[in-house]
């Protein structure tokens, strides 16, 4: 899942990011006439009924218990809502379930470590598949709920829930045979939970042990997206007659998590980076990769789109899933990076460049992305560098 901005390291969760990530719902309004006078503007009413009252903001943010929305924002994995979203992502959860149930030979009589157990779902799958013991490590307060769930389902003798950060807990065993985790964030590396999995691997994984999933790759393509770029980026150029283009700068620097329609894709899809979770070093999650996207039709390009695939290569047969626009949508959707230029590209022409990805130095859960692109086409010659930050 995602993680919220400046939250501390265990305060990740897509509650935060989804709040920043609008979906493509557009309101209908009459845009053909610009109001010329103050009076004309003023006649447009708000949507408040006469007897409706503005509720107190503090009160509206308060939740049923003694936690506020802010608490949830900064510790969103403690709230069941984010787990509901992940569990209901059938592509995600069913893939893990199939990997575990259809490959019980990987788990039978094995010691398993579940890094970031959440509700304990992956631990329960492993227990059901015959694991000897599962250590379910969860840093948020969902840990106590996971413990309750394990008990409710009669697996307390097999699954031990440990509350704490993987980097700080003590495991009652020296080694584990299997490390399982669902650590992927938006744009694959947003949230930086991969580091925690690598930490666990280096500390506890037996020499012949396995990490699941063990492969992840980041991919790139380019899309036509005139309407939405207009709505989300150019909107700031003229807001009720005022120039707010300083916000446009912020908006374009923030990658947008959203679903992309297949018919928007203008070029081929290219793999940018592949990671072997069983071998890689944490610094390998920072990289610069070249790209060469070839136009498959004459069209305009407004944005680059990144997505990831994960795979479990230790299974009987290769298993995994894709979060790409040509596959069934997952809760990760895709990550859209709007370009400053509108590129007019002809079939066969290539958009070339590099993408550099690294955790933000101040807040390593954020991701800094630098894209250099150039097009030397029949109708369009352009070369530019753009900086983005996922927060």
Ligand X SMILES: C[S@@+](CC[C@H](N)C(=O)[O-])C[C@H]1O[C@@H](n2cnc3c(N)ncnc32)[C@H](O)[C@@H]1O
Cα–Cα distance for residue pair 220/267, rounded to 1 Å: 10
CB nearer to ligand X: give 5 or 12: 12
Q: Which of 121, 127, 189, 304 binds ligand X (CB under 6 A)?
A: 121
Question: Which of the ranges 36-44, 117-125, 292-300, 363-371 carries the binding residues for ligand X, by CB under 6 A?
Answer: 117-125
Residue closer to ligand X by CB (options 113, 345) is: 113
128 binds ligand X (CB under 6 A): no
Residue with tokens 């070339």: 352
Tell me: does residue 359 bind ligand X (CB under 6 A): no
Tokens at 304, concatenated: 């680059």
CB of 119 vs ligand X, minimal distance in Å = 6
Binding mask 176-205 for ligand X (x = CB under 6 A): ------x----------x--x---------
CA separation for the pair 294, 377 (Å, rounded)? 11
Nearer CB in complex with ligand X: 24/203: 203
| 89 in contact with ligand X (CB under 6 A) | no
Residue 301 · residue 345 · CB < 8 Å? yes
> In sequence order, which residues have a C-beta less than 8 Å from that of residue 306 and are 6 or more positions away?
187, 218, 219, 220, 255, 272, 334, 335, 337, 355
Q: Does 166 bind ligand X (CB under 6 A)?
A: yes
- For the record, the structure tokens of 303 come out as 């944005």
Rg (CA), the chain: 23
Among 119, 192, 150, which residue's Cα sits nearest to residue 367?
192
Q: Of residues 18, 140, 145, 264, which one binds ligand X by CB under 6 A?
A: 140
Q: In Å, how far from its chain's centre is CA 127?
A: 28
Total chain residues near ligand X (CB under 6 A): 24
Of the candidates 16, 111, 138, 349, which one interacts with ligand X according to CB under 6 A?
A: 138
x/- contact string, 12-41, with ligand X (CB under 6 A)?
x-----------------------------
Of the pair 139, 277, the CB lying nearest ligand X is at: 139
Instruction: Give CA–CA dist 116/185, Å, rounded.
Output: 13
Residue (42 or 152) nearer to ligand X, CB: 152
DSSP for 340-364, written as a single string:
EEEEEE-TT-EEEEEEEEEE-SS-T
HSE-up (13 A, CA, CB side) for residue 53: 4
Q: Which long-range contacts (CB under 8 A, 24 or more apart) does 50-55 make?
A: none
Write down the residue that tokens 């305060």 correspond to.
Answer: 11
Active site residue 58: no
Active site residue 182: yes
The reply to whether 116 sits near ligand X by the rule CB under 6 A is: yes
**Are the C-beta atoms of 195 and 166 separated by less than 8 Å?**
no
List active site positions: 182, 191
Task: List residues near ligand X by CB under 6 A.
Answer: 1, 10, 12, 77, 83, 86-87, 116-119, 121-122, 137-140, 142, 165-167, 182, 193, 196
């Amino acid at each position: 899942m995602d993680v919220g901005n400046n939250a501390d390291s265990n305060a990740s969760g897509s509650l935060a990011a989804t709040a920043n990530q609008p979906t493509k719902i557009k309101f209908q309004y009459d845009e053909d006439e610009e109001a010329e006078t103050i009076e004309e503007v003023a006649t447009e009413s708000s949507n408040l009924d006469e007897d409706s009252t503005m509720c107190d903001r503090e009160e509206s943010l308060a939740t049923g218990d003694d936690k506020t929305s802010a608490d949830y924002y900064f510790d969103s994995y403690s709230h069941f809502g984010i787990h509901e979203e992940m569990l209901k992502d059938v592509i995600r959860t069913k893939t893990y379930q199939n990997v575990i149930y259809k490959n019980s030979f990987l788990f039978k009589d094995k010691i398993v470590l579940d890094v970031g157990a959440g509700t304990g779902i992956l631990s329960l799958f492993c227990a059901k598949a015959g694991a000897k013991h599962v250590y379910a490590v969860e840093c948020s307060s969902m840990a106590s709920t996971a413990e309750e769930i394990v008990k409710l389902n009669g697996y307390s003798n097999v699954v031990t829930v440990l509350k704490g950060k993987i980097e700080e807990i003590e495991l009652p065993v020296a080694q584990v045979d299997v490390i399982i985790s669902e650590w992927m964030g938006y744009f694959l590396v947003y949230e930086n939970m991969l580091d925690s999995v690598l930490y666990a691997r280096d500390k506890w994984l037996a020499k012949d042990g396995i990490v699941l999933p063990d492969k992840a790759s980041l991919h790139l393509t380019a899309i036509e997206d005139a309407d939405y770029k207009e709505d989300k980026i150019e909107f700031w150029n003229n807001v009720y007659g005022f120039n707010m283009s300083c916000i446009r700068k912020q908006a374009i620097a923030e990658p947008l998590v959203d679903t992309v329609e297949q018919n928007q894709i203008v070029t081929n899809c290219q793999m940018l980076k592949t990671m072997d979770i069983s071998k890689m070093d944490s610094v390998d999650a920072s990289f610069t990769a070249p790209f060469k996207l070839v136009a498959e039709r004459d069209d305009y390009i407004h944005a680059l789109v990144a997505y990831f695939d994960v795979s479990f290569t230790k299974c009987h047969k290769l298993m995994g899933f894709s979060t790409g626009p040509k596959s069934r949508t997952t809760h990760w959707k895709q990550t859209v990076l709007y370009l400053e230029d509108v590129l007019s590209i002809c079939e066969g022409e290539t958009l070339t460049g590099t993408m550099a990805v690294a955790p933000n130095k101040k807040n390593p859960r954020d991701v800094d992305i630098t894209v250099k692109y150039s097009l030397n086409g029949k109708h369009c010659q352009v070369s530019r560098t753009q900086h983005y930050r996922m927060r």
